[in-house]
Amino acid sequence: MCLLTDSAMKNAPDCRRFTCAPSSIGSPAPSDRGTETGLTTGRVLGALGLAAAGFLVLRAAERNRLQPQKQADRSRRADAAIQMGRASSLLAGSVFADSAMEHLRGGYHRRAMYVAPAMAGATLAASTSSRARLSRRNADLRDGIYLAGIATGLTGLGFHLWNISKRPGGATRMNNFFYAAPIGAPGALVASGLYGLAAGRLVRAPQMTSRQEGRLVGSMTALNILATSAEAGLLHFRSAFQNPVMFLPVIAPPAAAVALAAAVARPGRQMIKIARAACGTTVATGLAGAAFHVWGVHRMHGGWHNWRQNLLAGPPIAAPPSFAGLGLAGLGALDLLEMEAQP
């Protein structure tokens, strides 16, 4: 009789689920993984993306430190540009970490899965560097990166839909929306690219009035918040809202989206003030969400001791900060709307 209570076996990483692989709770079939060379290329690209992102983040941080006093002098429009840049960075950072983790959970079953974190990394690098310098130098390069990020996000949406549709029952089964590739997640990369482009526009000569700019970014942000909230809602519903705080991202951000939309429609001082508070709450929701997800990992079996499994199977820590990014974008849009609201 075996007298062993084998905790090592219990916690073995092979218990983890593979979201994007065809056999969902199973490991991917190595046969359609492509050649070993292709795999290596993908890994090298991913590593290069990571390194580039890290380098640029550090460089940007360095420059930020050198020019603090200048920020105070910047015009409102430049302030809005900074907010857009931050929004783009936070969203790209969220996608970068989240897609890297979730695609790892999917065993990087297809080489295309490396593209998401790589492009998110590139977008992150572009947005952090633009935030620091706001110069027109390299602007075209940055725009190119944002556009590539947007294209990657859109392609990702298509890939995720395809992943849902090829499972038994396809789009008619909730199981596939709960557990197949998350339907809306790549949209955050699209949003990140759009805010990056917006930041770039805002440091150039205006092509439309600030109110128009504010309305454009404001309505886009309201829609983005609603979409992100819908995704959080779907996944929190999957987890049966087992902790009441899980209702937060389906209540606070949509309220901000409504307030923002109202401010876009009638940019009065009072409405802008309310929307500003709501967007601030959305930022706080995103940051609190990450903290709650850290707690959630602790509440999985084995907690943080079993981090190799629970970081992948537990609540995604990198996902909620996208709300913070969207909240900042909302604040930027309000900056623009406020310019017109002043006499």
Partner 1 sequence: MPLVEHLSPRAIAGRAPDVFRHGGWVPMREYGDDEEVDFTIVGTGAGGGTLAAKLAEAGFSVVALDAGPFWRPLEDFASDERHQDKLYWLDERISEGNDPIELGGNNSGRSVGGSTVHYQMVALRFRPEWFRSRTTLGYGHDWPVDWRRMWECYAEVEDALKISGPLTYPWGPKRGRYPYREHELNASAEVLARGCEELGVDWSACPTATVSARRGLSPHCVYRGFCKIGCATNAKQSTLNTFIPRALAAGAEIRDLSMVTRVETGADGRATGVVYQRDGQVRRQRARHVVVAGYSIETPRLLLNSASPKHPDGLANSSGLVGRALMVHTNHAVWGRFQEEIRWYKGPPSLAVCEHWNYADDEKDFFGGYAYMSQGPLPTDFAKTLAESEGIFGTELRRRMADYNHMAGLKIVGETMPQERNRVELADETDRYGVPLARVTYSMCENDRQLADHSLEFMRNALSAAGGQELFQSGGTAHLMGGCRMGFSREDSVVDGDGRSWDVGNLWICDGSLFPTGGGVNPSMTIMALAVHIADRIKTLAGQDAL
Chain residues that interact with partner 1, rule: CB under 8 A: 1-6, 9-10, 14-15, 17, 22-27, 29, 167-169, 174-175, 178-179, 237-240, 242-243, 296, 299-302, 309, 313-314
Nearer to partner 1, 29 or 265 (CB): 29
Closest contact distance (angstroms) between CB of 12 and partner 1 is 8
Whole-angstrom distance, CA of residue 168 vs CA of residue 163:
11
DSSP H or E run through 155: helix 139-165
Least separation in angstroms between CB 302 and partner 1: 8
The residue among 145, 139, 140 whose CA lies nearest residue 189 is: 145
DSSP class per residue in 6-24: -HHHHT-GGG---SSSSST
Q: How near is the Cβ of 3 to partner 1 at its closest, in Å?
A: 6
Shorter beta-carbon distance to partner 1: residue 105 or 201: 105
Our CB check for partner 1 shows the closer of 136 and 238 to be 238
Chain centroid to CA 337? 25
The CA distance from 211 to 197, in Å, is 17
Q: Which is nearer to partner 1, 242 or 342 (CB)?
A: 242
Instruction: Give me the residue label for tokens 């593209």.
Output: 115
What tokens does 259 get? Answer: 């307030």
Q: Measured from the CB of residue 31, what is the shortest distance to partner 1 in angstroms? A: 9
Residues 6 or more apart in contact with residue 60 via CB below 8 angstroms: 128, 129, 131, 132
- Minimum CB distance to partner 1, residue 232 (Å): 14
Write b or e for each residue in 14-34: b if 16 or more Cβ atoms lie within 10 A of its Cβ, otherwise e. eebebbbbeeeeeebeeeeee
Select 85 or 289, whichever has its Cβ closest to partner 1: 289
Nearer to partner 1, 155 or 243 (CB): 243
Using the structure block, give the residue that is written with the tokens 């759009």. Answer: 194
Q: How far is the CB of 252 from partner 1 (least distance, A)?
A: 21
Return d(Cα 171, Cα 332) in angstroms, integer: 37
Q: Which is nearer to partner 1, 55 or 247 (CB)?
A: 247
